[in-house]
Structure 1
Amino acid sequence: MGTTWDGILEAGLIINNLGINLTDSFARTVNNGTHTRLWDDIWISNVRLADRFPRLYRLECNPRCLISDQRNISANNDLNGSFRWCWTRTPTGRTATELSELDNPLRTVTFRDDIDDGWKWKLNTNDQFRSSILTELINIKILSNDINSGTTLLNRLVPKKIEIFVWRARQSRLPTLCELNRRGIDLDSLLCLVCGNVIESVEHALFKCELSVKIWRCIFQWCIEPIPRDLNFQSMLQGKRIGLNPNDTSNTWQAIEWTTAHAIWSNRNQVVFKKKKMLCYIDLKRNSS
C-alpha cells in the first residue's frame, strides 16, 4: 500500500511541476460535518483552524474531533449555542480573543445534516474530478511549454497522437537504436534498420535516412515548396515555409511536416517489428487517398 501511495504522491508532484496545482485543487465540502476534522482539516478560510487559532487548539480537550462532535444539532444552524466547546480550562486573555475571532468564519458556513461531507475539484466547473479533463490539462501544459526551444507544440490541424509524437521526438523519447543504447539496452547493432548505413538517431530516422529523404523530396515537390538544404527537426518544429514568405509560420504547412514525420516513423516501426517493406511516397499517397 505504501508503494502505491508513494507513486500517487510522486505523480502529484510531477503534475504540480508542470504548472497544474493538483495538490490544492481538491477542497472539502462540509455538510453534516461527520467526515471532517474541525481543527486539523482545511475546510474553511483555506487554512487549518489549528494553525489560525493555535491557542484555542492547545486548550481543546479533543484536538482530533470531527465538526459533528462539536455541533449542537438542535441549534438549527444558528451560531449562538450551535457549537459546544470543551476546553481544558476557560479561555482568557488572548485565547478569549481567538475564540471571539473564530465566530466570523463559522458564521459563513451553512450546514446540511441530511448530506455527508464530500470533495470538490476546483479544476472542473462542475466540481467533479474527471481523469479526461486532467489528461487534457497535462497535454496542454506539456505540448505548449518546450523550455529548451520556446517552440509551441500545439497544432489543432493534427490529431493529438501526432502532437505527442512531436513532443516525444523533441525530448529524445522515441525508441531509436541510439536512444535505446543510451538507456543501457544491449543491442547487436546501432545501424539504421531501414538503410543499414548510419547509426539510427531521431534526426537520421526522420530526415537523413535514404528512404526518408526521398519521401521528403516528394512532399516538398507536391506542395510546390523549395527543398531545404538541411531539413532537420528544429525547422520542422517551427513550420516555416521557404517559398514566398520565409517568415510565414503556417499551421497547415506545419501539420503537413508533422504528419509526414509521423508517417515515416510509423512505417519505420512496420519495418522493424513486422518485417514489412518501407513504403515509398507513392504508397503513402495511395494509402491516404
Structure 2
Amino acid sequence: MFFGPPKFSSIGLEVFIANYFLGFELDPLTHVKKSKKFVTIANRLNSSDGTNVELWNWGRPPRGRAASELNNLATLISPIVLKDNPDSWKWNLDTSGCFKTKTLALLIDKAKHAPPTPHIKTETNSTLPMNIAIFIWRAKLGRLLTRTELEKHDIDLDSTLCPLCQTHEESAAHILISCPLVAQIWQLVLDWWNKSSLSIGSLDDAFAECQTFANSATGKIIWKATKWACGYTIWKYRNLKVFHNKTWTPALIISEIQAQSFKWISKRQKKAQLSWHQWLINPESFVTRTGVG
C-alpha cells in the first residue's frame, strides 16, 4: 500500500493495517496523547536516506503488551514508501497492480485444482424478462442448483437422482433436456411450432443461437424466446415438485409455456401483431405474415 503526503493521508479509527489500528490517538492501547484526534502516516514516519524513522508522541513510554504491539505495528509500517500522489492500493497478484475479480477467480480455481470457469457471455432477448436470460446463462455454465451440483459443495442430500424420473443423476442437462418427462415437453414444443424434424439433445440445441428463420431477425428472436421460456418453465415446475411435491403433466407445462411466451412476446414485440388464437394454432405464421425482421 502506498501513502501520499500528509494532505492525502489523514486517517482515523477506521483505518487498519492487518489487525492493528493506525489511529494513534487510542490511549488504552498505545498510550498516545488524545490531544490530536486525527493523524497522518507522514506524522509518524520520517524517511531519511532510505530508512524510515518512527516519530511518536507519547504521554508516557509504552510498557508490557503495549510495547510488544507497538513493535509489531512498527514492523508492519516499516516498508511503507511515501509518494507525492494520492493514497492507493496495489494488487500484488496482478502485474498491472489493479484488483481484478477475474484474476482472483483464476487464482481460486487454480488453488482448488479445478479448470477455469469458461467465459460465456450473458445473452439477452428483447422479448423476455432479464431474470430468464440470467437463468439460461447459469444453465450454460452449469451453475444451476441441481442435486449433483449441491453434492459437489458437500450438501447432504437423501439422493442425487432426478426428482422427476428417479433413474438418472440430476444434472442441468438432464433436468432441462434428457429426462424422459422433459423430453416429452420439448417434443410438444417442436410439434406446436411445426418443427418435429429438429432435435433438442443438448443445452446448446435448446438455448444457443439457432439458424431457423435465417431471413427473419424477428423469427429468430421469437423462436429462441419460446425455447428459453420452455427451459425456465421446466425448472419452475421441477422446483414445485422438489419443494412442494406438486405433480404435473407435460400437457400442463406446454399450456403454461404458450401462455407465458404469448404474454411476454405480445407486450414486447409490438410489430408482431399476434393474436392468441394464431399463437396457439401456428406461432410461426405471424413471422412470415408480418414480414418483420
Measured against the shorter chain, the TM-score band is 0.3 to 0.5
Q: TM-score, normalised by structure 1?
A: 0.46
